[in-house]
Structure 1
């Protein structure tokens, strides 16, 4: 099948995050015929809980946790930055293909990932140890705005959970070249993968052609995009942008769980 005949043929798509996440999304989009431009609009910085994180990582290395969890590839970067050690006896449960790739690339083992659906809810359903009656000591590591689905799910089952905010998300200015390409329509589709990215898109690209596609991944992202004034039409069958937009969103969702749609 030629590039033009594929579902995303003819689209030049902005991928708003770099790293493992950006590479996986860009690869998936290219396989569907898109041309991709990776231009991070968000980056990650220390949180006010840095001291708590350092202490938790010392406990992790000492083997005081039965499990740790992560739903973001950035957690692997944070662990490597701190030269964190995950002892063999501590099991690791993660969500998201990008998270799994990042952990393994960083040299960390992965014990459990959801098999049937790549989501935090699926992990809780497919994690037999947490329903065995034994109280487990679990370290959950996440971003400052990630919804604590795993943390709350584990606590509701009576487990001893230490939750740490490992990083916060900050905006990154796009280059002049990227802004010009979006305003001119040369980049004609944008992946909007979190509320923070929606904010950055609205702030940095106030004037875009009417036929630019904003592919908002996840209900929360769609609501955030509408709140900051991004056009969210094209979601109903029959709209000229519908097929391309749905193909974009489905392609992103096929490789990235929404739990990793960092804000």
Structure 2
């Protein structure tokens, strides 16, 4: 059995490492990619503000928000001296450390869903920076505002079909990625995001099973009439392995 994750090798982390330690062969089938917005004015203004201490807190809801800001010159080690940094999980924290942060950021202790984050996030008042992907919607901004924060929201990146425009891509091009034509009937594909589910619905592929990594991805798969074998009980190697053992 080969386990295929619908993202790029540059996004690999504890999920891939954990599955490999359990003896599974891993492959990467990137269906979506990420690129900077065409208009960079607001993003550049946020970089300047983060360096100048314009906000009391900044919340990163995905690793790509960090990559987008770094691409425009942001230095995490500068910001953490005067601003409390928050992330939504260890994967985002790992990218934050990679780019120079040294102080442990705030993150939710268990539930990393939007509701879980908002239930645990400190209450305002205060000024909060919230860079997000274009597809994120307004739920986090609204929830944080209701918790007393003065939120500055900026679109940091766009999710696009793979591959992104070379001059705006957030992730480096890498060799060894698969295409739908490389899939076999023995492969198990893990849909790693709602956007991947949308793209999979446009892909013709005969595989052994499809797994959703979490409930938002499950809902997207159902919306696009994708037949799932299961949804991982937790969005990590352990949760995916639980499903794989039952296949």
Q: TM-score range by the shorter chain?
A: 0.7 to 0.9
Which contiguous aligned blocks of 4+ residues in structure 1 show a shift greater than 6 angstroms? 173-176
The one of 122, 126, 130 aligned to 2:120: 126
For residues 118 and 254 of structure 1, do their structure 2 counterparts lie closer, same or farther at Cα, with a shift above 3 Å needed? farther
Larger Rg, first or second structure (1 or 2) = 1
Q: CA deviation at 1:47?
A: 2.2
Flag structure 2 segments of 5+ consecutive residues without an equivalent: 164-174, 240-247
Q: CA deviation at 1:51?
A: 1.2
| 2:169 paired residue number | none
Whether 1:97 and 2:54 are equivalent positions in the alignment is no
| 1:29 paired residue number | 19
SS in 2 for 1:93: strand
Q: CA deviation at 1:15?
A: 1.1
CA distance in 1, matches of 2:177, 2:17: 25
Task: Point out the more displaced range, 26-35 or 82-91.
Answer: 26-35
Whether 1:252 and 2:235 are equivalent positions in the alignment is yes
SS in 1 for 2:13: helix
The two structures, once aligned, show a CA RMSD in angstroms of 2.7
Q: Is 1:194–1:221's contact at 8 Å kept on the other side of the alignment?
A: yes
TM (norm. structure 2) is 0.79
CA distance in 1, matches of 2:34, 2:57: 24
Give the length in aligned residue pairs: 224
Task: Point out the more displaced range, 39-48 or 94-103.
Answer: 39-48
| 1:17 paired residue number | 7
CA distance in 2, matches of 1:149, 1:218: 18
| 1:113 paired residue number | 107
| 2:46 paired residue number | 56
The one of 188, 206, 209 aligned to 1:208: 206
SS in 1 for 2:235: helix
Q: Is 2:27–2:178's contact at 8 Å kept on the other side of the alignment?
A: no
CA distance in 2, matches of 1:46, 1:21: 17
Which residues in structure 2 correspond to 1:1-12 (within 5 Å)? 11-12=1-2
Residue by residue, what CA displacement relative to the aligned partner does 1:83-137 show, whole Å, maximum 9, x if unpaired? Answer: 1134211110110221010001111244311123334433333334x25xxx200
Q: Is 2:16–2:237's contact at 8 Å kept on the other side of the alignment?
A: no
CA distance in 1, matches of 2:44, 2:104: 21
For residues 94 and 194 of structure 1, do their structure 2 counterparts lie closer, same or farther at Cα, with a shift above 3 Å needed? same
Q: Is 2:14–2:237's contact at 8 Å kept on the other side of the alignment?
A: no
TM (norm. structure 1) is 0.74
Q: CA deviation at 1:39?
A: 2.8
Q: CA deviation at 1:49?
A: 5.0
For residues 155 and 251 of structure 1, do their structure 2 counterparts lie closer, same or farther at Cα, with a shift above 3 Å needed? closer
Q: Is 1:69–1:93's contact at 8 Å kept on the other side of the alignment?
A: yes
